[in-house]
Amino acid sequence: MAPADGAKVMDPKVQKVLREQGLEGRRLYLPHMPYGGSYLLASAIRSIGMEAWPTTDSNERTLELGGRVTSGEECYPQRICIGDFLRIIEDEGRENVAFLMPTANGPCRFGQYLHLIRTTFDEMGYQDIPLITITSNDGYQSIGDYSIDLVRTAWRAVVAQDILMKALLKTRPYERHKGDADRVYLDSIVEVGEALSLMGVSHRQRLAAVRAALLKARDRFRAIPADYDRTRPLIGVVGEIFCRSNTFANFDLVRVVEEHGGECWLADIGEWVWYTDDEHRRRLEAEGRKYSVEAAVRVITTKIQRADEHALYRDWKDDFVGYEEPHDVREVLRMSEPYLPYNGALGEMVLSTGKSIYLYEKGADGIIDISPFSCMNGIVTQAVYPLVQRDLDGLPIRVFYFDGTQADLERDVGIFIELARTYQRRKKKVRRYPAYFGA
Ligand code: SF4
């Protein structure tokens, strides 16, 4: 169904919020998590009339500028984010830009990024540059300050990104002509982005437009000439959310794995949104507010999000046979429980442990956990993985740390893939394949 050509006029309430926050006339930049995800989230933001785009590609200057304002004690993602923001200020001028930096009240330093970047900007004389946030503390409801509708559009952006990333990673290792899958992925991101950024349309119309763009993407992926091969080991990729999603941060590890003969299943971004939603639920219960208005709003929001998720995944059912995500994030949390109980441990360490087990059940031949150097998530998971491996028939699991100075990545990935191949020959869990893999 073609979307109605709605009025391209900004909602006056949104306009007021943007004016109050000094965002009017500025272009909002988002860090890559991953690039396609940020592109689609930026598209969702453009649906309320604000110019928003992912940051331009990180480069050496990112690390140089980030290194100038950090001491080395901070997390690697922090250095990349602030380095990119400073690079964009230099390129585009302070009066033209604003930045979005997510935050969270977690067990780690992520909650400090926003304050540190704000302080750095202020010390550099950039007090006028807006730095806005979305936070998991309220299940991302705060983005509703800009428009309640945006919460729903942003969620669709997350789901669409996960679908397109899954399609890319299940196709690219098998393509006959190098570059086909990347090209389809990027074209699809742009087309889905156009659907998400439509202004003045109803939720129903936007959903129809996004579905239509995804359907076109599906058919393009299906048409890529490819030689599917069951001997290629499947590697689950989990870990710290920024570093695992940002290809500059992780030296494009997924591609390195593919070049060494593997196929990757990258943990999705939607998982994190469902996790923060479940956290929200548990917090309300712990505070005795299980039957509060806030709890009711959460339940309704969850139902709507779930319905949108099902609607967008529906057309991909056959393509994703064997690649299904858990029905509920609590499935992953329960799997993690014997090693890292989710009511005691928090954040990616719980999800990474649980998802590793989930992927083992799906027939993965190895797990890579991507972690920034000195990240507490990686340190904790590295401590529990030997127990997990023992219980999973010796499934190869390895934490790869990144700090911008990777020396032996090729060698290390090569060794890991050999371990995965050995495991693949003796594994007990049978992997399901979609029909296009053949018999
Ligand atoms: S998850 Fe790790 S890298 Fe990310 S903010 Fe927390 S400690 Fe830093």
Question: pLDDT tens digit string along 364-402?
Answer: 999 999 999 989 999 999 999 999 999 999 999 999 999
Confidence of residue 4 (pLDDT cuts 50, 70, 90): very low
Q: Is the pLDDT of residue 126 over 90?
A: yes
Ligand 1 pocket check for 104: Cβ under 6 Å? no
Tell me which DSSP letter residue 52 carries.
E
CATH of region 231-268+325-439, choose from 1.20.950, 1.10.3210, 3.40.50, 2.60.120: 3.40.50
Strands 263-266 and 234-239, bridge-based pairing:
parallel
Best residue among 76, 240, 401, 403 to mutate for probing ligand 1's pocket (most ligand atoms within 8 Å of CB) is 240
Q: Is the peptide bond before 54 cis (omega within 30 degrees of 0)?
A: no
The residue whose CA is least distant from atom 1 of ligand 1 is 240
Q: Is the pLDDT of residue 438 over 80?
A: yes
Q: Is the pLDDT of residue 145 over 90?
A: no
The residue whose CA is least distant from atom 7 of ligand 1 is 375
What's the pLDDT score for residue 326? 97
Ligand 1 pocket check for 330: Cβ under 6 Å? no
**Among 157-161, 221-225, 404-408, 410-414, whose mean pLDDT is lowest?**
404-408
Ligand 1 pocket check for 371: Cβ under 6 Å? no
Give 260-315 pLDDT, tens digit per residue: 999 999 999 999 999 999 999 999 999 999 999 999 999 999 999 999 999 999 99
| Domain extents in the chain | 12-141, 231-268+325-439
Ligand 1 pocket check for 52: Cβ under 6 Å? no
Q: Is the pLDDT of residue 1 over 60?
A: no
- Ligand 1 centre from 290 Cα, in Å? 30
Give 336-345 pLDDT, tens digit per residue: 999 999 888 8
Prediction pTM value: 0.95
Decide whether 12-141 matches 231-268+325-439 in CATH topology.
Answer: yes
- Ligand 1 centre from 10 Cα, in Å? 36
Place of tokens 């169904």: 1
Quote the percentage of the chain above a pLDDT of 70. Answer: 95
Quickly list DSSP for 105-134. Answer: --SSTHHHHHHHHHHHHHHTT-TTS-EE--
- Ligand 1 centre from 299 Cα, in Å? 29
CATH of domain 12-141: 3.40.50
- Ligand 1 centre from 228 Cα, in Å? 37
Confidence of residue 54 (pLDDT cuts 50, 70, 90): very high
* Average pLDDT value for residue range 329-334: 97
Best residue among 79, 103, 110 to mutate for probing ligand 1's pocket (most ligand atoms within 8 Å of CB) is 110
| Exposure string for 76-109, b = 16+ CB within 10 A, e = fewer | bbbbbbbbbbbbbbeeeeeeebbbbbbbbebebb
What's the pLDDT score for residue 139? 60
